[in-house]
Amino acid sequence: MALKPSFSTEISNLLYAAHGSPINSCIQCGTCSGTCPVANYMDQSPRRLIGMINADLKDDVIDCNTYWFCASCYHCTVRCPADIDIAGVMYAVKRYSIWHKTYGEDLVGPQFSEAFVKTIVRSGRSYEPLLAPSYMTHFGPKEFFQEVVTASKMMLKGRIPVLPPRIKRLDNFKNMIRKIIPLGESS
Amino acid sequence: MNDTKSPPTPKEKVGVYICHCGTNIAKVVDVVEVAKWAEKNPHVEISRENKFMCSSLGQELIEQDIKEKGLTRIVVASCSPHMHERTFRTATENGGLNPFLFEMANIREHDSWTTDDEEAATQKAKALVNGAIERVVHHQPLEHIPVEINPNTLIVGGGIAGITAALELADGGNQVYLVEKQPSIGGHMAQLDKTFPTLDCSACILTPKMSDVGNHPNIELMTYSEVESVDGFIGNFDVTVRKKTSSVNEKCTACSDCEEICPVIVSSEFDVGMGTRTAIYRPFPQAIPNTYTLSRTTDDSQCVAGCPIHQNAHGYISLIAEGKYEEAVKLIVEDNPLPGICGRACAHPCEDVCDRGKVDEPISIAFLKRFAMDKVGDYELLRPEKERKERVGIVGSGPSGLACAYDLRKNGYQVKIFEALPAAGGMLAVGIPEYRLQSAQLKKEIGKIKDIGVDIQLNTKVGEDITLEELEKQYDAVYIATGAHEERKIGIPGEDLAGVLSGIKFLRDVRLGNKVKLGDNVIVVGGGDSAIDTARTAKRLGVKNVTMVYRRSRKEMPADFDEIEEALQEGINIEFLTNPVEVKGKKTVEEVTLQRMELGTPDESGRRRPIPIEGSEFDVPCDNIIITIGQRPDIGSLKLKTKDWGGVEVDEVTLQTSKKKVFAGGDCVVGPDTIVGAMALGKTAAESIHRMFEKLDMYAGREKEGAYLSNIEVDISGREKAPRARIPTIPAKERSSFKEVNLGFTEEAAQQEANRCLHCSICCDCHLCTTVCEPDAIDYSMEDEIVDIDVGNIIIATGYELFDTRQIPQYGYGRLDNVFTSLEFERMVNASGPTEGKIVLRDFESAPESVAIVHCVGSRDENYHKYCSQVCCMYSLKFAHLVHERLPDAQVYNCYIDMRTPGKGYEEFYDRLLKEGTHFIRGKVAEVTDSARTQEEEGKLIVQVEDTLIGRQRRVPVDMVILSPAMEAQPDSKETSQLFKMGCDFDGFFIEKHPKLDPIATMTEGVFLAGACQGPKDVPDSVAQGAAAASRVASLISRGTVMMEPIRASIDAEACSGCKICNTMCPYNAIEFIEEDGVSHVITALCQGCGTCVAACPSGVITGAHFTNDQLISQIEGLLWDMRELEAVPAGKEEKR
């Protein structure tokens, strides 16, 4: 009987679709964290996150905000001298934490990601007014008002559609998505 | 082929030995089982397994068994034959058998190391062993072939590794040929300042060795040379070396006079662009050999090649840049008898091909010539060195006739020009308007031509005033260059009305001072240069409205771009995509009907064809129409054979007409062309006439007459953009007179413009250096020399190249001024370098207050080079030390991934730097930027890096960044490896015979490696390897002979059909054909046993010793022992297995 895979193996397995080298080829050079535009807002740098995954520090990895703060600019992936798809690692940890429902209560990231994926799966396109509630609750009343004003103006100019847009042959698209993402019946 | 197989008789007794190789083999292969199984083979007398067959116990076992059991054949199944074939052959021999009665089965590299599957591995081991057993019974006793070693050695590469090897061998009394690509030996080490960790001065320890090489009686130094081909094999290599010409012979005393006068300044390779050098140069003062080299390319500069008369534009541009105007004028008039005129009115095809155009805009070549001529004012054309008696008559005094006259006169011929018009100069006098070319200028330059003895007779039309036949009688040769002075007609109704003028006649009348009356509204038809000239002349005669009509758009307009612009400024209206269809009027012109056009598909000239738009006709009132759509020659009176459009028919190369003594060129042959095009044909005719008089070959070596595209390519990377100088003009308001419009460059503008030259051919052929060289050492006629040398061994020490840091854009090299490479910094801190040892920023003035050194630039990086370059950590530490030493107040940051300082005294050096106060940041630099986020960062370079030891992203503001780039293989290492028939890995480094046990030799016997060409290495390692390679060669030399494998081809003379196919196939020319017997024969001394002939022989009568058909087929059958049963199985049931 196979042993229960370690945390680092689980994350590696989630990277099967990413390109590049396995995460244990990391030489801890820090190019990713030096490059990262949001590294200063993360409580662990991307380099340390990879180190922690390789050290199987599952709880510390899941608890940190690093992977939710990743802006997916892929700059680290481009520059990594060990050819690791670091942005891909961030997605792997996000998926892991959503599936295991281990993310913190007050984080915008998980709610936003979930809402985003759901609207896409439902209509084939993203729709701002549906996405907004996932992050609007984190604003103060003043910012909330400002956002609403901006949104209304954009809607009047036709920059935001009034009704959710739909794509053609949505069923085919949904079937395709189901093959890729094990979303369960929630969609 | 089975019939060639003979049963082995009498029965051989085979001994089989299976090696465990510790656990290397035994871990996967069941060696006991294999040994037991092998014993069942009927040939096998005894089968054993042993922990280490290569141990002395294992070897003794073989010897003992041979003696005691009477074995006649031996099989050892162990590692690769590369490792131990020789060991076991010796054991076999010690036992009393011929060493070739042994066969090795590789069950380690080919089996146990490749899999974990024990069953499959054991099965494969059985097959390999069985194959070896079946093969070995067919082995024949063979004897090694002795080969004598030529005691001479070739060393390729004159860096520290090559120098060390050369001195070691030469000191031992052996002849060495040292071939170096660069003009001096020394390699990269000569460029370094200090050497780590002891900090002794690189030059101080290297130059004594360099001069030893230069003075050594046993070393033949071949610098500026490259190996072209290598034939032969160990002991007897036949090498061809190309000694590139330095154009400086051995008389050179290195006095540097030539360097001081040379006008060409290019960036110095030795100073990696931090300094400059001249075209004739010595890389550095201590260069060995201490002599000058003139950098010449295989072809001319683009401007020179692109000029139909090959005016040395590169030369005069270089001289103008250096303020040597007199010399520039001298150079110009060597090729060109109309210098000031060409400086004004030439169509300058040179500028179209100028390589500067690839950077920004071409150099203003023509106007620079004008500047030089105007600046100097007076000049002398070349006079003949000796007079000759042959007389040449030239018909027409246009640019073609004048150019021909000058070239002939230079050679001493007697020249007379006949001109039909009352003024000399042809189109220059009557076609180009006064405001572009002043008559005084023309008069002056024609005067200069007359001064050297060219006679010009005006008002004499050949064909009317004197016949061509008479000329032919009076002169030894005649050149016809009458030009094209007849305007073509459009062919529309009303074209014959009064008031419709021919452009060329109009210009001629104005120029000769004849009265021309024009109305207020003039329409000029055409879009060429003469159409613009006509329109601008009409405007200057006081015409109110001048309109040009051109049938295509501005893009297709053939007239000069600047001149179209000037015409528009002067108030001339241009109607594009418009064409006249009818001229209306009773007696004189009253109206013209115009039609709009549109552009269709491109025609044969590549321009889009104009197509009339139906119904777009409209009428315009006008008083005169001047038609300038092109001219054609009028040569009916000369009675020469012509082409259907009216041009004279000539031989394309020699310009000879249907009459032998008569040549023709210029517009009367090719139709309306440029001034310089006409001159080129004049020069060609002069050459032909000269050849005819001298009875030389009329065709040989004339490919490069006229404009062509040079094959040289210039590296434009990193060139800063600088716009082309515009020629100042008089204001448009003042252009009502015929005053010259263009004013000419100021001295400052001219020098600045000339300095934009890229010197694409480096040497500009101005020959100034020859005028100052006292020992007369500079010889432009020297050519490359091909030298054949015979050597016994070769040492390759071709070194490395630095990684091009521009490939990593985020580090900003080439974009951010104060980012330097390591080699640039080495040159900078060197006391004899471009800054004399001062550490300064790119402005060459201010010292940096803080310096960041970036490790691993292109090393340890999957995107560039995966390997560690080994030396960067140490030299980066050295840099930090040098900054501390020279600028004690400066802060130094070393950004590293891992500090790698293994080596004697290296770690101690790191410790020293820690104590000196260098800031160490553990982290690979993410980027270097100049975009500041805070006040503190303003005006600095910011190094963004994660300090991984404190886990925080840092932005370090510094003044200077030094990149430590990877060492990479020479860009041509692949070709080099093919040349010497050795291996080259993916990174381009040469492959050693064994990575641990033999990093000196290559797979090719007699070819050895030294230095960084084998892999990144520092100086001590390169020196060690150089000396090691030398000792390997010395050992071979003192041995005198080597024993070669007796694996050679032989031909069965009885069966040879004499088809000779093998003779040409053999790559070593080892097969000769014996005529009297009608068969081919292998010369054993030359054969390398490659087997090509064996495969090629259609009769199958060539045998490769030790690789006979018997042996190979038996081995294959042995390998496939478990497949043999399948033969009985009916087809289709094989999948059962």
Q: What is the DSSP string of A101-157?
A: T-S-TT-HHHHHHHHHHHHHHHHSS--HHHHHHHHHTTS-HHHHHHHHHHHHHHHHT
Nearest Cα to B667, choosing from B486, B484, B530, B487? B484
* Residue-wise pLDDT tens digits, B584-603: 888 888 889 999 998 888 88
Contacts of A85 in chain B (CB under 8 A): none
* Residue-wise pLDDT tens digits, B740-764: 888 889 999 999 999 999 999 999 9
Q: Is B242 helix (H, G, I), strand (E, B) or coil?
A: strand
Indicate if A93 and A151 belong to the same structural domain. Answer: no
CA distance B120 to chain A (A): 25
Say which range, B473-482, B610-619, B1015-1024, has the weakest mean pLDDT. Answer: B610-619
Nearest Cα to B1032, choosing from B8, B325, B149? B149
Indicate if B810 and B956 belong to the same structural domain. Answer: yes
**CA dist list (Å): B621 to A162, A186, B519:** 63, 83, 11
Nearest Cα to B307, choosing from B280, B265, B339? B339
- The whole-number pLDDT of residue B854 equals 97
Beta pairing class for B44-50 and B14-19: parallel
Q: pLDDT band for position B497 (50/70/90)? A: confident
Cβ atoms within 10 Å, residue B1074: 12
CB pairs under 8 A between A and B: 69
In a domain? residue B260: no
Nearest Cα to B176, choosing from B786, B794, B1000? B794
* Residue-wise pLDDT tens digits, B988-1012: 999 998 888 899 999 888 999 999 9
CA distance B110 to B131: 14
CA distance B762 to B80: 54
Indicate if A50 and A78 belong to the same structural domain. Answer: yes
- The whole-number pLDDT of residue B1137 equals 41
In a domain? residue A35: yes
- The whole-number pLDDT of residue A185 equals 45
Contacts of A45 in chain B (CB under 8 A): 946, 951-953
In a domain? residue B505: yes
In a domain? residue A133: yes
End position of a domain, from candidates A77, A99, A121:
A99
- The whole-number pLDDT of residue B4 equals 47
Largest Cα span, chain B: 132
- The whole-number pLDDT of residue B675 equals 92
Cβ atoms of residues B66 and B97 within 8 Å: yes
For chain A, positions 51-90, list CB contacts with chain B under 8 A: 79-83
pLDDT greater than 50 at residue B34: yes
Indicate if B432 and B530 belong to the same structural domain. Answer: no
Element (H, E) at B637: none
In a domain? residue A143: yes
Contacts of B947 in chain A (CB under 8 A): 30
- The whole-number pLDDT of residue B1124 equals 65
CA distance A76 to chain B (A): 9
Counting every residue, how long is chain B? 1137
End position of a domain, from candidates A99, A132, A158:
A99
CA distance B825 to B1090: 50
Cβ atoms of residues B105 and B1096 within 8 Å: no
pLDDT greater than 60 at residue A1: no
* Residue-wise pLDDT tens digits, B835-872: 999 999 999 999 999 999 999 999 999 999 999 999 99
Indicate if A113 and A172 belong to the same structural domain. Answer: yes
**CA dist list (Å): B384 to B407, B410, B689, B696:** 10, 5, 16, 20
In a domain? residue B1111: no
Q: pLDDT band for position B737 (50/70/90)? A: confident
Q: pLDDT band for position B900 (50/70/90)? A: very high
Identify which of A27, A48, A83 has the shortest CB distance to residue B897: A27
CA of A46: which chain B residue's CA is closest?
Answer: B951
Largest Cα span, chain A: 62
Judge: A31–B947 Cβ closer than 8 Å, yes or no: no
Which residues lie across from B1043 on neighbouring strands?
Answer: B146
Amino acid at B640: L
Q: pLDDT band for position A114 (50/70/90)? A: confident
Indicate if B556 and B480 belong to the same structural domain. Answer: no
In a domain? residue B706: no
- The whole-number pLDDT of residue B85 equals 93
Indicate if A175 and A121 belong to the same structural domain. Answer: yes
Does A38 touch chain B if contact means CB atoms closer than 8 Å? no
Contacts of A40 in chain B (CB under 8 A): 953
In a domain? residue B375: yes
CA distance B158 to B259: 25
Q: Give me the numbers of helices (H) and strands (E) for chain A, helices first please.
A: 11, 0
- The whole-number pLDDT of residue B6 equals 52
In chain B, the number of structural domains is: 7
Indicate if B742 and B821 belong to the same structural domain. Answer: no
Indicate if B614 and B648 belong to the same structural domain. Answer: no
Identify which of A27, A35, A40 has the shortest CB distance to residue B926: A35
Indicate if A22 and A87 belong to the same structural domain. Answer: yes
Judge: B948–A39 Cβ closer than 8 Å, yes or no: no
CA distance B415 to B404: 9
Element (H, E) at B68: helix B56-69
CA distance B986 to chain A (A): 18
Q: Is B1112 helix (H, G, I), strand (E, B) or coil?
A: helix
Does B934 touch chain A if contact means CB atoms closer than 8 Å? no
* SS percent in chain B: helix, strand, coil, step 5: 30, 20, 45
- The whole-number pLDDT of residue A133 equals 75
Residues of chain B with pLDDT > 90, as a percent, come to 72
- The whole-number pLDDT of residue A2 equals 62
CA distance B1111 to B1115: 6
In a domain? residue B416: yes
Domain that holds residue B747: 302-379+713-761
Q: What are phi and psi of B1103, to 5 degrees?
A: -120, 135
Mean pLDDT of B622-648: 84
End position of a domain, from candidates B693, B725, B743:
B693
- The whole-number pLDDT of residue B811 equals 96
Indicate if B124 and B186 belong to the same structural domain. Answer: no
Nearest Cα to B754, choosing from B783, B776, B732, B724? B724
For chain B, positions 799-858, list CB contacts with chain A under 8 A: 810, 856
pLDDT greater than 70 at residue B1134: no
Indicate if A94 and A131 belong to the same structural domain. Answer: no
Query: What is the SS3 assignment for B83-97?
Result: HHHHHHHHHHHHCCC
- The whole-number pLDDT of residue B2 equals 42
pLDDT greater than 90 at residue B258: yes
Q: pLDDT band for position A182 (50/70/90)? A: low
Judge: B861–A45 Cβ closer than 8 Å, yes or no: no
In chain A, the number of structural domains is: 2
Does B303 touch chain A if contact means CB atoms closer than 8 Å? no
Q: pLDDT band for position B514 (50/70/90)? A: confident
The half-sphere exposure of B881 on its side-chain side, counting CA atoms within 13 A, is 20
Identify which of A28, A40, A81 has the shortest CB distance to residue B863: A81
Indicate if B626 and B490 belong to the same structural domain. Answer: yes
Q: pLDDT band for position B9 (50/70/90)? A: low
Nearest Cα to B355, choosing from B304, B320, B296, B318? B304
In a domain? residue A93: yes
Indicate if A86 and A51 belong to the same structural domain. Answer: yes
Element (H, E) at B1009: strand B1007-1009
* Residue-wise pLDDT tens digits, B537-590: 999 888 889 999 999 888 888 888 888 888 898 889 999 999 999 998 888 888
Indicate if B956 and B1086 belong to the same structural domain. Answer: no
User: How many degrees, rounded to 5, is the angle at CA B826 between CA B820 and CA B829?
Assistant: 100
Best residue in A35, A40, A44 for a mutation probing chain B (most B CBs within 10 Å)? A35
Q: Which residue has the higher pLDDT, A90 or A114?
A: A90
In a domain? residue A169: yes
Indicate if A89 and A117 belong to the same structural domain. Answer: no
Domain that holds residue A66: 9-99
> What ipTM was assigned to the predicted interfaces of this complex?
0.83
Nearest Cα to B301, choosing from B311, B292, B293, B291? B311
Q: What is the DSSP string of B292-320?
A: -EE-B-SS--HHHHHSTT---HHHHHHHH
By CB atoms closer than 10 A (0-12, 13-18, 19+), residue B831 is: exposed
Residues 6 or more apart whose CB falls under 8 angstroms from that of A116 comprise: A126, A131, A134
Judge: B953–A34 Cβ closer than 8 Å, yes or no: yes
Identify which of B862, B927, B948 has the shortest CB distance to residue A35: B927
Alpha helices in B658-709 (DSSP H): 667-670, 675-693
Contacts of A47 in chain B (CB under 8 A): 946, 948, 951
Indicate if A78 and A14 belong to the same structural domain. Answer: yes
Does B861 touch chain A if contact means CB atoms closer than 8 Å? yes
- The whole-number pLDDT of residue B1133 equals 46
In a domain? residue B963: yes
Amino acid at B352: D
Beta pairing class for B73-78 and B102-106: parallel
Nearest Cα to B517, choosing from B439, B623, B427? B623
Beta pairing class for B194-195 and B200-201: antiparallel
Cβ atoms of residues B1049 and B1091 within 8 Å: yes
* SS percent in chain A: helix, strand, coil, step 5: 60, 0, 40
CA distance B529 to B515: 23
In a domain? residue A1: no
Nearest Cα to B793, choosing from B942, B500, B543, B1010? B1010
Q: pLDDT band for position B70 (50/70/90)? A: very high
Cβ atoms of residues B160 and B1019 within 8 Å: yes
Residues 6 or more apart whose CB falls under 8 angstroms from that of B1058 comprise: B1073, B1078, B1079, B1080
Indicate if A38 and A77 belong to the same structural domain. Answer: yes
For position B1081, which CATH number holds? 3.30.70.20
End position of a domain, from candidates B903, B936, B968:
B968
Q: pLDDT band for position A187 (50/70/90)? A: very low
CA distance B14 to B70: 9
In a domain? residue A132: yes
Indicate if B102 and B236 belong to the same structural domain. Answer: no
Cβ atoms of residues B122 and B34 within 8 Å: yes
Indicate if B890 and B929 belong to the same structural domain. Answer: yes
Q: Which residue has the higher pLDDT, A10 or B736?
A: A10
| DSSP annotation of A23 | G
Q: Which residue has the higher pLDDT, B53 or A99?
A: B53
- The whole-number pLDDT of residue B1125 equals 60
For position B1036, which CATH number holds? 3.50.50.60
Indicate if A56 and A119 belong to the same structural domain. Answer: no
Nearest Cα to B1105, choosing from B1047, B1044, B1045, B1043? B1047
Q: Under the phi-then-psi rule, with left for phi > 0, alpha for psi from -120 to 50, and beta for the rest, what region is B652?
A: alpha
Contacts of B944 in chain A (CB under 8 A): 34-35
pLDDT greater than 90 at residue B1132: no
For position B364, which CATH number holds? 1.10.1060.10
Residues 6 or more apart whose CB falls under 8 angstroms from that of B872 comprise: B822, B855, B856, B857, B859, B964, B965, B966
Query: Alpha-carbon dihedral of residues B387, B388, B392, B396, nearest 10 degrees?
Result: -20
pLDDT greater than 80 at residue B724: yes
In a domain? residue B295: no
Does A48 touch chain B if contact means CB atoms closer than 8 Å? yes
Please give the distance of CA B306 from its chain centroid, rounded to a whole number: 19
Round the average pLDDT of chain B to a whole number and report it.
91
Indicate if A112 and A150 belong to the same structural domain. Answer: yes
pLDDT greater than 80 at residue B1131: no
Indicate if B562 and B513 belong to the same structural domain. Answer: yes
| Residue B888, token pair as written in the block | 């004690």
- Could you check whether the bond before residue B957 is cis, i.e. omega within 30 degrees of 0? no
- The whole-number pLDDT of residue B101 equals 95
pLDDT greater than 50 at residue B353: yes
- The whole-number pLDDT of residue A4 equals 83
Indicate if B440 and B589 belong to the same structural domain. Answer: no
Does A36 touch chain B if contact means CB atoms closer than 8 Å? yes
Identify which of B923, B951, B953 has the shortest CB distance to residue A29: B923
Nearest Cα to B322, choosing from B715, B844, B747? B747
Give the orientation angle of helix B529-540 with respect to helix B503-512, to 10 degrees. 50
